[in-house]
Amino acid sequence: MVTGTKRDVPLSVYPGGVQVIDGSTLSAAAAGHGSDTISTRAASVVSTHLGPGRNKLFIRGIADSSFVGPTQATVGQYWGSSRITYSAPDPSLRLYDIRSIEVLEGPQGTLYGAGSLGGVVRVVPNAPDLDSVAGAAWGGAQAVQHGRPGVDGGGILNLPIVEGTLALRALAFGSGDGGYIDDTERGLKDVNTVRTYGGRAALRYAPGNDWTIDLSGVGQRIDGDDSQYAERDGGDGLSRASSIAQPFRNDYWLADLVARKRWGTLELATSLGYTGQYVFEQFLGKELPNAAPDAIPVAATASSAFVQTDRISMLTAETRLARRGPHGSGWVVGLSVLHNQARVNRRMDVGPLGVARNASIALTGVRNQVDEQTLYGEGSIAPLDRLMLTLGGRLTHSRLAGDSQDVLRVVAFRKDPTANATRSETRMLPSAALAYRATDRLTLFGRYQQGFRPGGIAVRLDFVQRFKGDRVATTEAGARYTSRNFNLSLSGSWTEWRDIQADLIDGFGFPTTANVGDGRVLSVGLSSRWHVAPGLSLDAALYLNDSQVTSRTALAALSSDVTQANFDRLPNVADATGRLGFDYATPLSSRLDLGINGFARYVGKSTLGIGDILGQLQGDYLDTGLEFRVGSKRRAVTLSLTNLLDARGNRFALGSPFLVRDRNQITPLQPRSARIGFEMAF
């Protein structure tokens, strides 16, 4: 079943690209990598690599920019029934105790609304068990070649409070990932240590009469001592020269309440969720001229630091009624509201080279607020034998408001006094799909879907400017073959993207946001899984993307010092991504089993961003991993090996936006590492 359809459609008749990861296949080592594990297993998902808690996810070639600004994410991320991000970075929640992960390739505008241009990633945690006391614990120690060791651990407890009626499930975890980047200017080694800790708690109440009420909370904090980038001319690819540390932090919390009632094939679901996120980042700055009229009036030295803090809060509520019919037919109708507020504050800390920074200058910040009210519906019928027709639509009214932060409004809005005016947008997103079961094993499908993002305001230099909403329309066709031992899925899509919102770098190195023009994306995906023999299965996937900015706005059409091809392509999504993997399990004795799984993943070339400054190539690397498990279902020891070839690569060509012009920045893979761990359950 594809539960992300909000009415449980069988995978065999789902009319679109989808990838499902079984949570039971995720080891403690894999779960501890958060969203990196999703991109490793689902070839259509890619990520930026500024650092955990600072990244953006993209699906199937729909990528806007490398930075996290006031723009809404192009991927809708959900934890159960609750949305976890809007205009915020991916919090990279750890994937312990997960039932499944669904990647619905987009757009998914009808069911998920604004911000699902590329698709949806939905993580479904394990719910409390009303009848059994159970628990689990894990731990491990990691050795990193060329770096510091790491450690991780955690535990789970499931406790029925009133058997069959009320139960609690709680989880706590923590980890320390050793650094591996050296700073030659400060004479420090392994500076980029990251500590992550958090927990979850869920309470399930089943009063009877097919009612279920779930109350849950999630909290996680990521602390990074320094950025994880290096410089290509740094010798071994694991070093750089910087005069200050560039720490970062991401605090995330989520609370949600979900009530469900079933009447046979009908289900009523109501959810209420609140999320909060605090993101702190510090970047190494550089000397800034102050002669230009719009330049920031401060002459920073080589020891300057640009500091940005983002505070995002979001309240969501949804009520929907769904009916499941035979063979995937049925319908869903719903109402939803959303309130999101994002505040960005910026400052420059300056001081003489080699001396503690002794001045702090407030820079222009922004506050964006979005309120949305939505009515949506989708239904599937079988007009002919073996043919399923799906039609849907979503009507959304958005109210946008914004203001400046930390400076006088007359200064911030001097270029566009109307940028702070409240305004509204109303969008209708239609969708249509066909699924034809040519045989019991082969399904052919086609789909048309739209998606959009509302506009907002952003900072350029020290004044505030407005950017418009953007919209995508995607036509998709594909086939899915399913048998007992072999699955194969093939799909292709064509996307038209209007008024692309993108985060850019201005002439002084500061991030800004603007509409850069129109574009198109052609994407082809192939994935398969083959159960070769009892205990042995193979999987393979290949995704090809070809993107182009077909027309550029005056702001984006800067004088280009890179090739036109690099200037015109959309950022961060590789032209080719492929994966090969295997799973093998065999008994060693009556009490012990051996499990081995491994993968090789190739990420092709992409660019950092759009324009002459950001059109730098990245990617073109091979990542590998291998894991061994010896034990029983309840107790085992594990050995996990990553980056077997000790490859460097360049996952992301950015460390500090102020140094993009002057230095050849790269983000290497974590060097070869080995983790020894244990897992136990009762």
Burial 435-469 (b: 16+ CB within 10 A, else e): bbbeeeeebebbbebbbbbbbbbbbbbbbbbbbeb
pLDDT at 86 over 50: yes
pLDDT digit string, tens, across residues 209-260 = 999 999 999 999 999 999 999 998 867 899 999 989 999 999 999 999 999 9
Residues, the chain: 682
Residue 440 token pair = 């019991």
- pLDDT at 585 (0 to 100): 96
Domain of residue 372: give its range.
3-681
pLDDT digit string, tens, across residues 538-551 = 999 999 999 988 88
pLDDT at 163 over 80: yes
Residue 517 token pair = 């023009």
pLDDT band at residue 477 under the 50/70/90 scheme: very high
235: Cβ–Cβ under 8 A, 6 or more apart, which residues?
A: none
Average pLDDT for residues 26-37, to the nearest whole number?
Answer: 95
Contact 306, 244 (CB under 8 A): no
Residue 140 token pair = 């491990």
**Which residue is associated with the tokens 């990074």?**
224
Q: In whole angstroms, what is the distance from residue 4 CA to residue 121 CA?
A: 9
C-alpha closest to that of 570 among 498, 519, 619? 519
The pTM score is: 0.92
Longest dimension (CA), the chain: 79
Q: In whole angstroms, what is the distance from residue 100 CA to residue 125 CA?
A: 7
Average pLDDT for residues 115-135, to the nearest whole number?
Answer: 95
Average pLDDT for residues 667-674, to the nearest whole number?
Answer: 97
Rg, the chain, Cα only: 25
pLDDT digit string, tens, across residues 262-307 = 999 999 999 999 999 999 999 998 654 443 344 444 444 446 889 9
Q: Which of 159-163, 464-468, 502-506, 663-667 has the lowest mean pLDDT?
A: 502-506
Averaged pLDDT of the chain: 89
Other CB atoms within 10 A of residue 208 CB: 7
269: Cβ–Cβ under 8 A, 6 or more apart, which residues?
A: 6, 81, 258, 259, 260, 318, 319, 320, 322
C-alpha closest to that of 268 among 336, 211, 328? 211
Handedness of CA 623, 628, 196, 203 (dihedral sign): positive
560: Cβ–Cβ under 8 A, 6 or more apart, which residues?
A: 567, 611, 612, 615
- Count of structural domains within the chain: 1
- pLDDT at 320 (0 to 100): 97
Chain centroid offset of residue 415 CA: 34
Residue predicted with more confidence, 332 or 565: 332
C-alpha closest to that of 243 among 288, 279, 286? 286
Q: In whole angstroms, what is the distance from residue 606 CA to residue 460 CA?
A: 26
Show the 3-state SS of 41-64.
HCCCEEECCCCCCCECEEECCECC
**Which residue is associated with the tokens 């305001």?**
457
- pLDDT at 467 (0 to 100): 87
Question: Apex CA 508: angle with CA 505 and CA 512, to 5°?
Answer: 35
C-alpha closest to that of 223 among 243, 202, 242, 247? 247
Burial 380-400 (b: 16+ CB within 10 A, else e): bebeeeeebbbebbbebebeb
pLDDT band at residue 558 under the 50/70/90 scheme: very low
Helix (H) / strand (E) element for 566: namely helix 564-568
Contact 57, 39 (CB under 8 A): yes
Q: In CATH, what number is assigned to the domain containing residue 384?
A: 2.40.170.20
Burial of 514 (C-beta count, 10 Å sphere; 0-12/13-18/19+): buried
C-alpha closest to that of 140 among 524, 628, 475, 657? 628
Burial of 407 (C-beta count, 10 Å sphere; 0-12/13-18/19+): middle
485: Cβ–Cβ under 8 A, 6 or more apart, which residues?
A: 530, 531, 532
- pLDDT at 298 (0 to 100): 42
pLDDT over 70, % of the chain: 93
pLDDT digit string, tens, across residues 384-415 = 999 999 999 999 999 999 888 888 777 777 87
- pLDDT at 421 (0 to 100): 74
**Which residue is associated with the tokens 């993943």?**
601
Q: In whole angstroms, what is the distance from residue 371 CA to residue 314 CA?
A: 10
DSSP 8-state class, residue 669: P
- pLDDT at 555 (0 to 100): 57
Q: In whole angstroms, what is the distance from residue 51 CA to residue 227 CA?
A: 7
